[in-house]
Structure 1
């Protein structure tokens, strides 16, 4: 659907070359909700602007449905841009237009007949749950309602791709959850591929099926959300994950266990619901103390993280560990 092939984007600023995106290669499949996460200045927004050629790549190419955007004629590019809807952090609504008129705007630009515009706007208002707000102005709406208007406007031209630029960053947690559910609805019911950028791992975890992590213009890690979340390879990815899940107790609490050897047990998928720990310790007559941990759902699969200590004969404890390692990931916890 969308493919970045070794894409680099460099800007010239006061005689100095600034590389915002460097040698990025990614593929977004049709039907994906693909998240791009990174801290401020990572190059996320620049990468998005390359998708509709608002910025042209300095090197490499961006393809949509196997055709490079730089090969499009001006007419083809205009049509392609109508196939890409965009929603923004600050909503970008016209304050002088009603909700209905804001949604109608891209259809007016496209020269669509008034009767068709009226029908389309009513349909979209129902879809985003704002049928009763058609005659309201943006200043009369909450932040979540404004973003719903932004989503409806982005859908007005029946796009195949929806780009979300920090679409929930200005919203409170409850409203964020509502908007993310609406984006999922767009993806599932309308079959629209979603490409979103964010600096919040919670957003990625909630709705994305694939993710790429960016730092200093490069993609440093990518893959399925489940694999990336449960087995991060890069320090930056681990920083994002630690913002949503603390996998170890604080150093202060760990000090209380300075005389014990602690282990981190990581359960994934079906293993998280199997009684592996109780079976192994009972079999080898070892006591287990669960000190810290969580079991959560991620992408409709379980992911468990437990910090434990064992009591018993050393030989029997090693037998438990050996048995557990055959089924799950076991790591020793270093206590400073």
Structure 2
């Protein structure tokens, strides 16, 4: 659907060159929700703007439905852009136009008849849950309602691709969750491919099928969200995961655990159906060992269970070793705090 082939983008700032995107190759499948995450300055916004040629690549090519959009004429590019909707962090609504007027705007530019515009706007406002706000102005709306207008406007021309540029960054957590549910609805019910950028890992976890992590203009890690989330390879990806996972307790809690005689601590990772099975109880009971869950949680990632627990074991060292050897065949387990005595 969308493919970046060895894409680079360099800006000249006086005598200095800024390499915003460096040799990026990515493939986004039709119907996918694909997230690009990175801190400020990572190059993700520039990469996004290359899709609709708001920025042209210095080298490499961007394909949409096997069409090299960087090779299109100005007229062809205008036609192509109608197939790409875009929503923004700060909404970009016309304050002088009503909600209906904002949604109608791209249709008017395309020369659609008044009757068709009326029907399409009515349909879209119902889809985003704003039928009763058609005559209101943006200043009368909440942030979440403004973003819903932005989404309706982006859908007006029936695009196949929806680009989301930090679409939830200006919203509170509850409103963010509402907008993410709406984007899922757009994807599932309308079959629209969504490409979004964010610096918030919880957004990626909540909505995306696949993710690319960017740093200093490069894609440093990419893959399915579940695999990336449960087994991050790059230190930057691990930082993003840590921001929502909080998989280590505070030093204060660790000190309390040590004061009660704790010496060794193991991280146990459960993935998929096994996260709901009593494997710890079964294996430790078999060898006469007690275990204590010191910290962690079991959560849902991409509709699959993911358990990340810190566990201590109590009993004879030889039996604990047998427990560890048996658990290694079932789950991911490693020692994270060793006995320093």
Normalised TM-score (structure 1): 0.98
SS at match of 1:148: helix
Partner of 1:297: 300
- Decide whether the 8 Å contact of 2:294 with 2:312 is kept in 1: yes
Separation (CA, whole Å) in 2 of partners of 1:36 and 1:334: 33
Q: 2:323 aligns with which of 320, 323, 333?
A: 320
How far apart are residue 79 of structure 1 and its match? 1.1
- Decide whether the 8 Å contact of 2:57 with 2:70 is kept in 1: no
Separation (CA, whole Å) in 1 of partners of 2:154 and 2:65: 20
Separation (CA, whole Å) in 2 of partners of 1:301 and 1:90: 33
Does 1:277 pair with 2:280?
yes
Separation (CA, whole Å) in 1 of partners of 2:334 and 2:91: 45
How far apart are residue 331 of structure 1 and its match? 1.0
Correspondence list, 1:1-336, <5 A: 1-258=1-258, 259-334=262-337
Q: Deviations 1:264-292 (Å, cap 9, x if unpaired)?
A: 11000011011110010010011111111
Q: Deviations 1:190-247 (Å, cap 9, x if unpaired)?
A: 0000000000001000010100000000000000000000000111111111111111
* Equivalent residue pairs, number: 336
Moved more, 251-260 or 117-126: 251-260
Normalised TM-score (structure 2): 0.97
Q: What is the aligned-residue RMSD (CA, Å)?
A: 1.0
Separation (CA, whole Å) in 1 of partners of 2:213 and 2:204: 11
Q: Deviations 1:14-58 (Å, cap 9, x if unpaired)?
A: 121100000111000000000000000000100000000111100
Separation (CA, whole Å) in 2 of partners of 1:46 and 1:76: 22
Separation (CA, whole Å) in 1 of partners of 2:245 and 2:81: 38
- Decide whether the 8 Å contact of 2:225 with 2:302 is kept in 1: yes
How far apart are residue 71 of structure 1 and its match? 2.4
Separation (CA, whole Å) in 2 of partners of 1:101 and 1:256: 61
How far apart are residue 301 of structure 1 and its match? 0.4
Separation (CA, whole Å) in 2 of partners of 1:39 and 1:295: 27
